[in-house]
Structure formats: C-alpha cells, structure tokens
Structure 1
Amino acid sequence: MVDMKYEFVDVEGGHPIKMWTRGVPVDDGARVQLSKAAQMPFIFKHMAAMPDVHVGIGATIGSVIPTKGAVIPAAVGVDIGCGMMAAQTSLMASDLPDNLEGIRSAIEAAVPHGRSVGRGKRDKGSWGDPQSEITDAWAPLSERFDRITDKYPRFKNTNNIKHLGTLGTGNHFIEICLDTEDRVWVMLHSGSRGVGNAIGSQFIELAKKDMRKWHINLPDQNLAYFPEGTDHFDDYVEAVGWAQDFAAANRQMMMKNVIKALRSQIAKPFDAAMEAINCHHNYVNRERHFGEDVLVTRKGAVRASKGMMGIIPGSMGAKSFIVRGLGNRESFESCSHGAGRVMSRTEAKKAVSIEEHIEDTKGVECRKDIGVLDETPKAYKPIEAVMAAQDDLVEIVHTLKQVVCVKG
C-alpha cells in the first residue's frame, strides 16, 4: 500500500478533507472551520488543506475548495487575486552595495505603500497622480470595469487606478533576495487593493442577503453562496475575474518600478526578467479535475499543476522558495501559499518583544519597529516543516533568502 502524505479526515454529514499537514501544527479552530465548509452540498469530491492552514475570515486560509454549481464569495475573501511575483536578475550579491539602506529607501520612494486615512487627505498608499505607465496598464482593464460599474456604481468610488502598482499593508511586502548561488531576485506580494476589497465585501453581503431571502440555513453565515444560473453568480464571476486580472497587473507594475529603483542605486547594467513568475493565491478559477469541470477556490493556496512554477514565501526573516508543481490530483493540483500563521496579529504583538524581532531579522534591511511585530518571524510556522509536508505537491527549484524587505 502506498503511504499517503495527507491525513484523511471524514466529516459527518459532509465531504472528506485531505490534509497535507504532517509535522506541522494545526489549531482546532482551523479543523472546525474546514469541517463546516466540507458540509456544503456542492463540494466536489473532497476538500484539500495545505500545510500552512490556519483560521481565516469566511474560509480557512490554506484551503482548496472545489465546487460544482455554486461559488462562496467569502471563501475567496476581500483580497481578491492576492499573490506573488518574483523575477531573477543577472545581478550577483557582490554587485549590491554593502549598505542596503539606499536600496530600501529607493524602493519605498518608487512604490506607494502603507495606508493613511483622514478627511480630505490622499492615502499615502495610493498615487496622487498616476504615472503614464500606470494609465497605460489601466487601459486594458477599464472597459470591463465600466461594464461592472454600470451594474454596481459604488465600485467607481474606490482607489482603482490610483492603487494600480501599489503595495498596501499587512503581510504584503517587497523583497530583494539572494538564491543559493548568490544571484539577486526581486520578490513581491500584493493583490487587488481597495477595488478588490470593495468587490469582495459587496458580493459577500449580497450572498448573505440571498441566503436569508431563500431561508437557507448554513453551518456558518460566511459560507453564503451564489448558485450557478443566478444573476449574482454571473456578476460575481465577472467581477472576481476582473479583480484577479487587476491584481496580476498590480504586481507587474510594482515589479517594473522596483527594478527602476534598483537601477537608480546600482550603476552596473543588468537584466531583470530572466525568470519571472506571477501567481495568485486567493482566487477562484474554472478548471478540470477528475474528468469534470469545476470551480476551484484557493484561499491561501497556489496552483501546482505539473511543471507550473509557483512561489512559496516564508516570513520576513525566513527562506522563500521558487517551486515547480508536481500535478498531484488529490490536492486539486495545489500547494501552500506560504508558512502560515501560528499567532494572530494581536497575539504576536503581545508575545514577541522588539528585541526578539530585531534578532530574528538580523541581516535583513527592514523595519525593526513595533509597527511590524504582527509580521515578525515567530508569528509564522517554520517554513522548512511546511515544505517537507508537501514534497509530493511541489519540487523546490530555487531557495531564496531576503536581504531587503519593504513592508506597508
């Protein structure tokens, strides 16, 4: 008998869950949340849980939810199309200056990041006046956006074009990394920003209203769904598809501006797209699995079909991995999207001292203040254990370690 890498969990009154979590801690809350989703009648075959699995809002982060005939907006969430981009450069570690502060400052100046709120003030994480390249990148998205806003006018009043090519806050980051051969990489993490948040929030509320209207009882109100064939289903699929494309374009524009910032600090000419990967890890997609057409929602998971390249980052003090998918059909060709949290943001701020954070990010040019303690390395699972638990899902192609990290 073949030794399966996953734990098989039977769910009473629901579909089974296959969990790639050997050697990795999984909190009880995540198991309960996964079981509630597995009870939905339209789950196809089984659900899959990745080794970075932990409790999320709406659905468990690190879960793969295949469905037939329905979609759950809160399972995709509000950071629609959130994902990673990485590009290998022709630079070597020896080409970087001894002091990396200038590179970090140049990146921070080139890419709007963070967030500021206040009546009449511009959010510092948006463009005041978008560059011409941003306007050009917006052009292919604008016609579809107009179609969506004809039905849902509130989406117009979002930082749509002004957020294109911007980082945001939380766990979003830009890093300069070195691989094991001392080659320089640029890696970044962001999604669909304010407009994606507005789209996600609106459709999550519409789904909850529909459930009340149809008197449908749910194990969790965040599992509210749109049945295929309804107007809201079609509208959501159109809007979420657009937001995912916006997120991919957002990462591309950030990457261009980070490369420009690097060129302003390094006199040596270099190539910057020798190997580029741009992948979502919060999204829904139509795919074919086990001979049937299904919708696959990956909430904190990356597609890992055979030969497909992906990115699995660690925390701001840990290794990250460029991987190649092995096409494991039992996981619906998926892998983890990162290390996964072991502490909530609030817990991390209480449990980890600034001294520990400084020690854990030694050798990385990054923020060392209390404002990033919620993202400190100790808040995350050990990335090596996460990778060991999914060695039947992906193979490691490059191992990266950051030397510069920019947080919002």
Structure 2
Amino acid sequence: MNKLKITGKELRQLGYPEGPVISIAMKLAQKHYKYTSKETVFDLLKAVLQAPADFVSDAALGPVARQLVPPPPKEDEGMAVSLNQSGIAFNIFGREHIEESALAQMYTAAKLPVAVAGALMPDAHQGYGLPIGGVLATRNAIIPYGVGVDIGCRMCLSIFDTNPKELDDRTHYFVREINEATLFGSGAQFKQAANHAVMDHEAFRLLPVLKGLHGRAWKQLGSSGSGNHFVEFGIVTISEADAVLGVPAGAYLGLLSHSGSRALGAAIANHYTKIAISKRRLSQDARNLAWLDLNEAEGREYWIAMNLAGDYAAACHHIIHAKIAKQLGCKPIRMVENHHNFAWKEVWNGEEVIVHRKGATPAGENVLGIIPGSMTAAGFIVKGKGETAAVNSASHGAGRKMSRSKALQSITASDLKKELSKKGVTLISAGLDEAPFAYKDIEVVMKGQQALVDVVGTFTPKIVKMAGDTIKKWQVKE
C-alpha cells in the first residue's frame, strides 16, 4: 500500500494560496491520511478551502482551516456595525436534531440590523456565516456567505417514461453513460469545452472579477465537482398523480444530479465576501455575515455575478442531462429542478426583501423541488405549501451528522459495501466521507417539515457516481 504524497504545486492547483498553509496542509495530510487515497484527501482539502469555518475545531484539519479563515478587518477599515441587542424571531424546524453551533449561528444572523425574517430547516448544521439550512430575509442587503461558496448549488431530475427494470438488466450500460457524461473532482476540466449561451453573458466582459474566470468556467461547463455532488440513475415512483407535477402514477427511470457553479461560484463568493467584510466591521462571531447594500456598486455587481453563477450551474446540469437523454434516445417527460444555495427578491409583508437560502429549498405554494437523501436513501419530489413560518422554504437534504474527517476515521469500505449490497445500489465511485452513515435519517428530516411541503414522488438511487475512488481502490484500513 503506497503512502500518500502530495506537493505544493498540487495544492496550489486546488486553489490554496501561497503561504504557510501549503506546508501545514502537506504535513497534516501525510500525518493523518497517509493511507487514504490522494483523490479523497484532495476532496477533503478542497472542502476545507471552500468552508474553513466548518473545520476550525477539527482535530486533524483545524490548523489548515485556521490559516484560511479570513482575518478580521483592521480597526481603521470599514464601518463599525453593532448587532441588535435582540434578534428577529425565527422558527426552528426539527430542533431536536440540530447541533448547537448551527443554532448559535442563526441567533447571531437574527441580530443583524438588516434582518427581516428567518427560519432554520431540520437538516441544519454549522456553516460559514449563515448556517447550512439557514434562511434569512434582509432589507436591501445581500450577504455573500448567506448564499454560500457554491453559488447556485442545485438539484435536477429528469423523469423518463422508461421501465426502471432496465437499471438491473443493463447496469453496465447506465454506468457507462454516467461516466461519459460528466467529470468529477475539484479541478476537473474538459479538454473540449461544451457550447452554451451562458458563456456569452455580457457580465463576463463587464465585471473585472469575471473576466479572468471565463476560460476555466468554460472548461468546467458540464462537470460535477466534488464533495456531496453526484449523478445518479434511480427509480422515480409516483404513487398518485399530482396536477402540478403532471406525471401519471407509476414507476419511471430517473436521472438525478446535484452540483453547483464550480470554481466560478467560489471565486465570486470569496471576492465579494472580502469586500463586504472590509466595508462593514462586525464582531468576530458575525463578521462572515457582512453584507453589501444593493444601492452600492459592489452590491449590484455581486447580484449580477450571483445570478450568472446560478445560470451557469443550471447549464452544467442541462448539459449532463441532454447528453444522457441523447444516448438513451428519448426526451424526459418532466424535469424538476431547484437551487438551494441562492438569494431571491421576494415580497414579505408587502415589502421587497432578499431571501437567502443557504442549503434550503424554495417551497412557495405549489413550487416543485427535490430533497435528496443519501447514496442509499430515497429522495423526495416535493411541492411547497408556502408556509410563511419557514419563509417559504424547506430542507435541502438529510444534512450531515458526521464531519468528513470523522467519517473517514470511523467508516470502513467494508461497512459501506455491506450497506450498498443491502440496498441494491451500484456505486461507481465516492469518498468514504459521503457514506450514508455520515448523514441524518432523511425520513426523520421529512417528518420535521410536513407543514412545509407535500411529497408528490420519490427517487430511489440505484446507480451512483460521486467524486472519489472506486470501491476496489479505496486505500483505507478495514
């Protein structure tokens, strides 16, 4: 079994900045993950890079995360802003399953002077700024880390009028189609870029921050990233026809994807967060909630860039689904899709507000969405009820109950293989940190939001691909 060996050049390619963090990351990776595959470690280090606050207290990766957390602004920079003594009231769904750190983050967000309304979803856990699963409406203000690093991270489901039994009869065929349709991994790029109108958006020419991102974004168009992103074939079950969904009762072949705006969204998030922090000097516990006013040039720029990243993320999904539909020789009878890392202009109590949903699904009245489970747990096609107590939102998944480093330390390949066999799931590739045991029970999460959505269909995974090694090549201790 070969020991892990990574270089500073490889870390820079992942996006790590010059400085002590490079050598710290190399030493800690070799110390704690010496028998873990390089791709799995790279995915983990990329996760730290994208959300260092999630790893600050991590026993193994904390020193790396602390190097990456943005430093507080100097005393003479920006405008000092005080939090309100008492925050706005907000509702918590499934509180018994939410960690205290996520609750603390939401209580802090509720004290922002621009906060108008909020809610916390049952899959919530600690994030960077606003907790993942947090919903916050603000008055004429946009919080880059209220949207998240992976801007426009979204779900997309294609439903095909094809007998899902073919997934068992022709498994190798469907595995091949997923493998050929997209790329996984933090720095994955196509040699031949796909064509899509989103790459002609004028913002790429007008906004300085976007000009240098166009080439890489084009090469990543249609790729799927790392972490919890996936492409899956499975069985869509519609028990009873729903007028909004418009699909007759029955069992169908489904193609489900989950990914976001890749390096483009991360660069936008980091660039404008630094500006927001420099403009509004908040207390240490709130500084990653710094906002941009939409009357400011930077606020208007971020709004344009965020929407472009959302369109780009949607284009990535559409390219993947179009490739596979072409190979299947049929068009989907229905496509359901939604962002769950984004901000929208909506009306709240007669006033236009900015609703941030960081790891939350839009659930306005009759709005369709998808809430996935895990690689072995069913996901749900849902229809929003427009519940104002939740700011018209629902969870975006099951939510993690185990950190990535803890999952790698406590879950074995043998454990996962047994679970996959029990559930009849073919796993093409994934990291052990994405094993089902690392997630909350989706059934419990759904019970915690019965007032927010109606379930109109289910998606049961059968063939799954994520970033990471194939099972046979996992280099972990049994």
* Pairwise TM-score range, normalised by the shorter structure: 0.7 to 0.9
The answer to whether 1:219 aligns with 2:285 is yes
Q: Look up the SS of the partner of 2:180 in the other structure.
A: helix
Aligned 8 A contact 1:259 1:272 in 2: yes
Amino acid at match of 1:281: H
Q: SS of the residue aligned with 2:311?
A: helix
1:21 aligns with 2:94: yes
Output the aligned Cα RMSD.
1.9
Letter in 1 for 2:169: D
Partner of 1:194: 263
Gapped runs of 5+ residues in structure 2? 1-83, 238-249, 468-478
Q: CA deviation at 1:381?
A: 0.6
Task: Report the identity percentage.
Answer: 33
| Matched letter for residue 16 of structure 1 | A
Maintained 8 Å contact 2:167/2:462: no
CA distance in 2, matches of 1:247, 1:94: 31
Moved more, 98-107 or 85-94: 98-107
The residue correspondences of 1:322-341 to structure 2 (distance < 5 A) are 322-341=381-400
Aligned 8 A contact 2:235 2:253 in 1: yes
Maintained 8 Å contact 2:205/2:211 = no
- Residue 290 of structure 2 aligns to which amino acid in structure 1? A
Q: 1:47 aligns with which of 118, 125, 129?
A: 118
Following TM superposition, by how much is the alpha carbon of 1:153 offset from its aligned partner in structure 2, in angstroms? 5.5
In structure 2, what is the equivalent of residue 361 of structure 1?
Answer: 420
Q: How does 1:389-404 map to 2 (within 5 A)?
A: 389-404=448-463
Question: Residue 146 of structure 2 aligns with which residue?
Answer: 75
- 1:349-388 superposed matches below 5 A: 349-362=408-421, 363-367=424-428, 372-388=431-447
- Which amino acid counterpart does residue 426 of structure 2 have in structure 1? E
Greater relative contact order (Cα 8 A, min sep 6): structure 1 or 2? 1
Which whole-Å CA distance do the structure 2 matches of 1:218 and 1:236 have between them?
A: 23
Distance in 2 between the 1:385 and 1:88 partners? 26
> Please, which runs of 5 or more residues in structure 1 have no aligned partner?
1-10, 116-122, 264-268
Q: Secondary structure at the match of 2:201?
A: helix
1:304-323 Cα distance to aligned partner (Å, 9 max, x none): 11111100000111010001
Question: Does structure 1 residue 88 correspond to structure 2 residue 159?
Answer: yes
Q: How does 1:129-278 map to 2 (within 5 A)?
A: 129-130=192-193, 134-139=194-199, 141-148=200-207, 151-152=208-209, 155-156=212-213, 159-180=216-237, 181-211=250-280, 215-217=281-283, 219-261=285-327, 263=328, 271-278=330-337
Q: Give the 3-state SS of the residue equivalent to 1:159 in structure 2.
A: helix
| TM-score, normalised with respect to structure 2 | 0.74
- Checking the alignment, whether the CA contact within 8 Å between 1:284 and 1:298 is kept in structure 2 is yes
Which residue does the alignment assign to 2:176? 105
Structure 1 stretches of at least 4 aligned residues deviating more than 6 Å after TM superposition? none
- TM-score scaled by length of structure 1: 0.86
Instruction: Report what 1:3 is aligned to.
Output: none
Residue identity opposite 2:171 in structure 1: L
Q: Which residue of 1 aligns with 2:74?
A: none
1 CA distance for matches of 2:326 and 2:178? 9
Q: Deviations over 1:357-394 (max 9, x none)?
A: 112222111146xx611111011110001111111111
Q: What letter is aligned with 2:190? A: W
Contact (CA 8 Å) 2:209, 2:268: kept in 1 or not?
no
Whether the aligned pair in 2 keeps the contact of 1:101 and 1:365 (CA below 8 Å) is: no
Amino acid at match of 1:247: A
Alpha-carbon distance in 1 for matches of 2:212, 2:343: 20
Letter in 2 for 1:241: N
Residues 1:26 and 1:136: Cα distance change in structure 2 (over 3 Å) = closer
